[in-house]
Structures are given as C-alpha cells and as structure tokens.
Structure 1
Amino acid sequence: MTTVRKLSLEIEPDTYPAIERTLIDSIGSGEAPPTIMEWTFGSDLFLELGPVEDASLIDRERAAEHGVDYGRRYNVSGGTGFFRDDCTPVLYAFFTDEGDRSMTEYIDLAGEAVASALRDAGVENATYRDGGDIELVPEDDGQLLKVGVSGAGYQDGVWGVFANVINRSYEPEEFGVIDDVLRLPKEKFEDKDTDSAEGRMTSLEDVAPDVDIDTVLEEAAKNLAAHAGDEVEEGSFTDAEAEALDRHREHYGSTEWFERYSTGRIIEEADEDHEVAEVAYKGRKLIKVSVRVDADGTIDAVQYTGDMYHRPGFEAIDRLNEAVTGVSINDEDALLEAVSSVYADDDVEIPWLTPEDFVRPLVRARESLAPAKEFDR
C-alpha cells in the first residue's frame, strides 16, 4: 500500500513555482512519497502565467497600480489563471511516471476526479469535458458553465496533475481589474461568447449554494489519490524540502524567472536588417509566435508561447523554437517537416494541437513582417 501525503497550504505568490520545483525534485529522487497539495492563495488577487506563456500578457505597470500580484508557474502547462484566498481552491497531485498513461489521460483523470466529487455532493449536471474543462451541462441548449479546470505537467520523471473548483466568483469591478492587467489576445475568445477574462466562468456559490466545498475537495483528493497510491494522509514538508523551498523562492519570485518566455525579447534584440512579426492563432488551444527573420526570409529567432499543454516540461516548446530556426518562413513544407520532427520524438506530447497548428501562425506572421524599428503592439 502506498500512502499519499496531503499538504494543506496557503501559498504566497513567490512560493508557488518554488513549491512545484521542490516537490518534483524530492518525489523524483524518491525522498518523498506521492503528494497531493490542497491550496488557496494568500493574496488579494494573484495572476499567474503558464510555464511557456508570454510575459507580455501581464501589464506590470497596471498590476502595480492596482496592487495585483503575478508570477509564472513551474510545471503544469496551460494558460493564465487568477486566484484569491479560497475563491478557487486547487488540488495538485505529484507522483512519479510509471509509463502507463499519457498527458491527455492524466488531464482527463483530474477533471473527472472533481466532476465526480461534485456529482456526489449533489451537483448532478457536473461533467468533465475533453480539453480540461469541468462544466455544468444545461438541460436545455443553453451555454455550458465552467466551474473548474484540470491540467497536467511533466518534469524530470514526475507528473503534476492539477484541478481546481471555482468556489466563489469575483465582483464586476474585480473582473475589470483583471481585464486591465491581463492582456489576452483577441484570438483567445474566438470561440467564446465574450471577450472578457470572465468568459463562461461561474461559481458553485451561484449555482449550488448548499454544496460544502470542503467535502467536494476531500472526495476529489481521494479520487486523485487512487491514481497515485491508496490512502490519503495529512503530512508536511520534510526538513530537506523546507530548506530547498527557501533556496528556490528567490529565483522563482524574480523578474528573470517571470521573463523566461517573452516574445518582446525577439523584437528587442533585432538588428536593423531584420524584419519581425508577432501574431496569435487559435487552434484547439491558443498559440502565439514572435519571429525575427533575415533579409532573405530565413528565420533568425522564434518564440512560441501559449496556453497549450506539453510534455516534457519546457523542452517540447524549446525544441519547436529550435526546429524552425534557420528555415525559410516562405517554405511551408519545410516548416511543417521541422515541426513534425519534434512531434515524432518519443517523449513529446502536445495534446489537442497538430504540427499544422504551429505552422499556421508563422504563415500569418509572414504576412505581417515589418522592420523592427516600426514594430508596434
């Protein structure tokens, strides 16, 4: 029998990625058991970016004016999020890779763990739908209402499987602040009925006020633990983990870490002979690309960012950047061959997106190229 350790935490902005890194290291080395974190954010409002999201999506000047905290995740891929105290409590499971499931399967398992717990609590129409959304399915043809999200990440032989529940929503003025600080591309909302971060988001308090969120989280944690071990047992960080957390906190709360992926850097480092472009493309997930090309059309540098899921860690996207660099932006066949070669790697998974999805934004960028000195967002 494998006991799954449960950590109940209130997390500060600079500790979130530091905790992810710490647990991946300790579990991957066998020094700690499979672990489920149940956490809330100790912040009035925290905006987060996925590991390979573009740093320019957050207007840091506006964030400072509003007093909004922000940061970048270390592990679970996917896009942006916003958190405050217990508005959106999160379950986050870490366990070693046994080689028996794909990233898509883990995302599905996490989503169904929460959807099942909600149904057991009396929310009969709670449904996990392919793609990471936990939604309330209407009895008529009305709009699906998102009440949670699931996701997964993979680093150094350790899976991080994530699911949250939207317990309480935000006031309209708070959504206004989020929209003011979080600069999401318009393409993000091409398949939505709104162009606001509010999107289709709803809360349990609105639709099921009698549901006990603590019971939902407890049952969902058990459902998740069943895929990583057996019984769930409350625990705490080991002394070694606590020391590692202190070491990691400074780096993962730094500007250097936040700007790890920034499409603006591609533009800023351009020479006078370069042309540049920045475009977004919405496939099943949003892909953004910033590209710099030589006078003959050869790609000198490129940065893919977005809300895609990917395995392994940062490497899958880094390999895509490297694969298309040096290829002519005018040669679609060569670009597709380069991207497809990354997909062919045995350790790469990028669910719900095809190689063609990573070529299309480059084709769009080709039509938007301009001298770097003339570039304007």
Structure 2
Amino acid sequence: MHGEYKVPGGKLVVADVDVSEGVRIKRAQISGDFFLEPDDALERINGALAGLPIEASTAQVAARVRAALGDGVEMIGFSPEAVAVAVRRALTGATGWHDHQWEFVHDVPREPALQMALDEVLAEEVGNGERPPTLRVWEWASNAVIVGSFQSLRNEVDLEGAAKHNVTVVRRISGGGAMFVEPGNTITYSLYVPESLVSGLSFVESYAFLDDWVIGALNELGIAATYQPINDITSPAGKIAGAAQKRFAGGALLHHVTMAYDMDAAKMVEVLRIGREKLSDKGTTSANKRVDPLRSQTGLERGAVIDRMAGSFKERYGLAEGKIGDETVAEAQQRVLTKFGTEEWLTRVP
C-alpha cells in the first residue's frame, strides 16, 4: 500500500506499507524529501509503525511516532502528524494529484443561481465517473451575494441594499460565510475531485491540501500568500480568499474558492451586514477603500492572473481543455427551477 502527503508549505512524505492478515501493519517504510536528524531516527519511525492496527487513527499513529522519537530529534519540513497522514492515506487507498487526468474549464458568464446548480451537477458527474476531475473558473453574469448553506439570510444580507445595487442573493450548498461579487471583481473557481484524493485527511487538512497549488501559484506571482486555518488564504496585505467544501455521498468533493481581485468595499458593506472588524479581515479598515489584494499586489489584469494560475496547475499536475456539455447545463437549469432559484431554498435559514 502506497500513500503520499505533501505538507502544506513543507515537504513530501511517502509511506509504503505492508499489512499482515489485513489487521495490522507488518512493515512500513517512510521516505520523502524532508530533513531528519539524527540519521537513525528514520529507523525508529519505521519501527514504531510496525504492529499498529490498520484502524489506528491519525492521532494514534502520530502519538506512536512521537513516543518512539523522544527528545533530540529534528524533523524539518514534516512532523509525526504528517507521517500519520501519509500512513492513513496508504491504508485507505488514497490517490494523488498525478493519478488523475485533469480538465480545465474557463466557463462563460452565468447567472448566480445557475452557478450554484452547476457546482452540484458537476461534482455529481465526477462522483459518478461521468467527468474527470475538473478545475472550473467561473464568470459572473450579474452582481451577487452568495450565502453559506447554514447562514441566516436576514442576519447576513441587507435586502434593501441588495435591491439598491441590483444584487441577486443566492444560497450555495457548502458552508462558510457570505460572499459579495460583481463581474470582474473576483476570481472564483471550483475543484471537483474524487473523494479518494483527500482520503486519510481530516476535514481541516483537506482544505490546506487542496489550496496548496493556488498558494504556490500566488507565490509565483510575487504574493506572500499563506494558508490560514480553517478556510482562508491571506497575505501581509490582508485576506485574499475564502474556501468552502461539500462532500457528496457518491464519492466526490466540491472545493470552491472566491478570491478578491478588486472589490468595492463601500458597496459591500451596504449589501452585507458585516462590521468594521470583519471588513478589516478582508484587507481594509475603511469602507471607502477598495479591497484589491490581487490587482494591487500583482499589477496584472484579472485575465492574466487566471492564466498564470491555470498555468501553474498545469505545470504541477497536467491540465487538458474541457467543456460543460448541453446536457449538464440543462440539468443545472432544471435544478434552478426546483431548488436553487426557489424562495424555499434561499430562506431555508430565514
């Protein structure tokens, strides 16, 4: 059994595991591009893993490794927890990024409710094996506020402000906070992946794992971007992006991210019921300023940022041009009528 785990901001940890009679680890070999001192500490790690039941949790595996190492060991670029994740990924049959043929869709502008429906339909197609894992960059046809699946509509959105600024309010299927978007002011993308890609990772770990490529892309653009648990990407100039996830019973995972390119903060606070503290978290201390971390820090047009991001993904994992077929769009349009465009769905949490 083979499992790999790239530590966000760190090194690759690889676990090759033999199992005895399907119940315990018979032999384990840890490897990777990490640094470890003293040299014999690797044998201690491997020895600690032998005999562990295959049901052992990540925390239990990490505790076993930590106890075997004791004091005086330097682990650079990884940790006992990273070893444990690699082992769990081996035992659960996790796949890696390079195990999949990725498709890229830079989508046409679509109305907000249809965007919500497409996320659900595309994820289901990946789970059903009808579509390869896909990176989709959205384009918005109109202004929108997107509330999280579990947020209270009246607590999050000023409906009068939304009407004043011609903003459509919709609800997505993932949790997390509300987003304000206008065409051209954000970069929104979705990853539709098989659940095997995040097998062995906790919910929180999967966020860092799936965001690692885009943080690398932003670093290549000269932005000192870092992951901030649970679901934010930030820089010294302020928050850049927020992520959200939804896991499907069919074996797929949706991971979508909205990044601030050049946002009108004054308009945002008229539409969203957010205070000064949350506005500051988004990179500005005054509603009279624009939230523009991507534009100001890169000096690039929005399209150029998207191209550079997609290019970075392609260099890492490969990326072929894909498309969204008419049948997929038709199914999403039907779900707008029955779910995502209905008052019942929008006010599921009034």
Mapped contact 1:91–1:164 kept (Cα < 8 A): yes
- Whether contact under 8 Å (1:93, 1:224) holds in the other structure is no
Uncovered stretches (5+) of structure 2, i.e. residues with no partner = 1-98
Report deviation, 1:71.
0.7
- Residue 152 of structure 2 is matched in structure 1 by 54
In the alignment, what sits opposite 1:146? 239
Q: Deviations over 1:214-250 (max 9, x none)?
A: 45434534666799xx421121123431221121122
Matched letter for residue 166 of structure 1: A
Paired residue secondary structure (1:86)? coil
Partner amino acid, structure 1, of 2:194: T
8 Å contact kept, 1:91–1:217: no
The separation in 1 between residues aligned to 2:140 and 2:207, in whole angstroms, is 22
User: What is the aligned counterpart of 1:12 among 111, 117, 123?
Assistant: 111
Residue 155 (structure 1) aligned with residue 238 (structure 2): no
1:111 pairs with 2:201: no
Q: Which residue of 1 aligns with 2:329?
A: 242
Residues 91-114 of structure 1, C-alpha deviation per residue, up to 9 Å, x if partnerless?
210112112322212211343322
Which of 190, 193, 217 is the equivalent residue of 1:92? 190
Rounded to whole Å, the distance in 2 between the matches of 1:109 and 1:224 is 14
| 1:102 pairs with one of 194, 199, 202 | 202
User: Does 2:128 match 1:29?
Assistant: yes
Residue type of the alignment partner of 1:20: D
- Deviations along 1:60-96, one digit per CA (max 9) or x if unpaired, are 2332233221111123x21011111121111210112
Unaligned runs of 5+ in 1: 138-143, 263-377
- What are the within-5 Å matches in structure 2 for residues 178-193 of structure 1? 178-184=268-274
The code of the aligned residue for 1:159 comes to: L
Per the normalisation by structure 1, the TM-score is 0.57
Over 3 Å counting, the alpha-carbon distance change for 1:117 and 1:214 in structure 2 is farther
Alpha-carbon contact 1:36-1:225 (below 8 Å) kept: no
1:217 to 303, 306, 327: 306
Query: Which segments of structure 1 move beyond 6 Å, counting only runs of 4 or more?
Result: 189-200
Aligned to 2:297: 207
Q: Secondary structure at the match of 2:234?
A: strand
Aligned AA for 1:136?
S
**1:37 positional shift:** 0.8
User: In the alignment, which residue of structure 2 is the partner of 1:231?
Assistant: 318
Return closer, same or farther for 1:178/1:219 CA change in 2, 3 Å cut-off. Answer: closer
| One-letter amino acid of the structure 2 residue matched with residue 258 of structure 1 | L
Tell me the alpha carbon deviations over residues 241-272 of structure 1, each in whole angstroms, 9 at most, x when there is no partner.
1221121122211211101122xxxxxxxxxx
TM-score of the aligned structures, taking structure 2 as reference length:
0.61
Higher helix share: 2
Task: Please report how far the alpha carbon of residue 5 of structure 1 lies from its aligned counterpart in structure 2 after TM superposition.
Answer: 1.9
Q: 1:160 to 1:101 in 2, by over 3 A?
A: same
Look up the match of 1:169: 263
Question: Which is higher, the Rg of structure 1 or of structure 2?
Answer: 2
Distance in 2 separating the partners of 1:24 and 1:226? 24
Q: How many residues align?
A: 246
The change in CA–CA distance for 1:163 and 1:198 in structure 2 (over 3 A counts) is farther
Counting aligned pairs with the same residue, the percent is 24
What is the alpha-carbon distance in structure 2 between the residues aligned to residue 122 and residue 13 of structure 1? 31
User: Partner amino acid for 2:134?
Assistant: T
